[in-house]
Amino acid sequence: MTDTSFEMPRRYLAIWFPFLPSDRLEWQATGSHARAEAPLCFTEKQNNALRIVSVNRPAVRLGLAQGLALADARARVPHLVAVETDQAADAAWLERIADVCDRYTPMVALDAPDGLTLDITGCAHLFGGEKALRDDLLARLSSGLSGIRTAIAGTPQAARALARFGVESTIVVPGGEAQALAPLPAAALEAGLEITMALRRAGLRTIGDLASRPRTPLAARFGAGCVASLARILGEENTAITPRRPLPPTSAERRFAEPVTQMETMLATLDALADRTAQSLEARGEGGRRFEAALFRADGTVSRLRVETAQPVRAPKTMLRLFRERIDTLSDPLDPGYGYDLIRLSVTATAPFETPQHSLDGHAVDDDDVNALVDRLSTRFGAQAVRQFALVQTHIPENAVRSVPAGQASAHVEDRWPSPVSDERPLRPIHLFERPEPIEALAEIPDGPPLRFRWRRCVHEIARAEGPERIAPEWWRSEGASPTRDYYCVENVKGHRFWVFREGLYQEVGHHPRWFLHGLFA
């Protein structure tokens, strides 16, 4: 497949919700968008005074606006209802609206606190054109939101400016941004109140007035930020949005003319989409490690099912089996409501896929069975419930491994300890204590190996010793850095071998070295 998105001009759809807080409050109170007739404002404490940060439509009709002090607003409108703003709830409401917009394009960016920007490049033809796409989106959102304003342009800044300061529902033809932006006020640059006032005093009241002036004098008088904002809004600088969800390496979707409500139909659709993604993964030489099924209901609700695998897979049957397991373990069963009109399967994480060469001893088959079991258990009980040990790049022995979710060990290690030659002694003990155990040791010289040591009330006479292997503290970790350790592999007169170390050096001021037993070789 050839990606032609870079060969066509970029197109952005900006959406502005001027009454988002009041719409959220009304929806939560009634479960639907019942238009409130009483003037309502949302306040926030600024400079020891309560000021309005948002209003509803009746309050706008009475002349109230953002930035007005609550005391002044109540003097004008005595029956004004004031509510403290809830930024977290508004952000969650905006995220929910963005979920609805995911059906049109995966490139959805939050324009907090009350807007969204969609990159609809190459998507409009699926809905019959840009106007049809916009109309369909407005039809879905109008049941819970009021006063929505939109604009489509070639840059996200231009689309945002036109949605907030221009004519309602503007669609700019490719290359016509400069002409469409020219009549907008200088405030559309959103360069700050001081710069906007300075531009007005200088007679530069519109974007067109600024665009016709040389940039160097503008930068000298009004700052480089003003010129940079002008360049971005006119498309003179290459700008793009940052989607709230990373784009998946590959995905497939199915749209329905009539919403489907049967679970078997949904699973059959996932099976077909898994086959399409498998073909894409095979062409890339990769397998999927993480999959997400997005189920878009006709009423705008989106359900997302995620599964992970221990090894890269691309077999559709394996994907479908894991999704069945995931559905069976949901604490809140899927509710199709009026039905799903769009189902999308995305592979959100991939890894190189190597076709296994099954050996005659059957060990490869056993490994496949173990991986399949890990996948099923992780899907049923959660990734954090099934764990394994992964190596960590550190020389501190007790920190050399850590517990990670099963199947993710390869993401936490790059280098392993070198394997010893078959006729050499092992580099590390067979049994390593969780915490080194203190011992009483006697050495012939201060910095030498122990001659004997007492451990668990038993005295061990040393016959042979090898070392030291010095492990210095990790200086880049200032907190909790342990003293220098000198490790010795010692063997007592009975042939038992131990791994002991002296913590600290005698020449270190204010520190008396101590001895510990860290592991057993036999």
pLDDT of residue 401: 74
State residue 343's pLDDT score: 94
For CATH 3.30.1490.100, list the domain ranges present in the chain.
250-352
Distance separating alpha carbons of residues 150 and 160, to the nearest angstrom: 8
User: From CA 361, how far away is CA 367, in angstroms rounded?
Assistant: 12
Residues of the chain scoring pLDDT < 70: 1-7, 30-36, 355-369, 407-426, 477-481, 508-511, 522
CATH class, domain 1-175, is alpha beta
Determine contact, residues 234/211, Cβ cutoff 8 Å.
yes
Q: What span, in angstroms and rounded, lies between the C-alpha atoms of 308 and 290?
A: 4
Return all residues near 46 (Cβ < 8 A) that are at least 6 apart.
Answer: none
User: Can you give the pLDDT at residue 5?
Assistant: 41
Residues of the chain with CATH 3.30.70.270: 1-175
Amino acid found at 145: L
Question: What is the model's pLDDT at position 405?
Answer: 77
Residue-level pLDDT at 398: 77
Predicted local confidence at residue 353, as pLDDT: 83
Cβ contact 273:343 at 8 Å = yes
Max alpha carbon distance in the chain (Å)?
A: 98
pTM above 0.85, yes or no: no
So what's the pLDDT on residue 428? 78
Q: Provide the CATH topology of domain 250-352.
A: Dna Ligase; domain 1 (3.30.1490)
pLDDT tens by residue, 405-419: 776 655 444 445 555
Parallel/antiparallel/unpaired status of strands 12-16 and 49-55 = unpaired
* Per-residue pLDDT, 360: 54
Instruction: Identify the pLDDT of residue 162.
Output: 93
Residues in contact with 139: Cβ distance below 8 Å, sequence separation at least 6, in sequence order: none
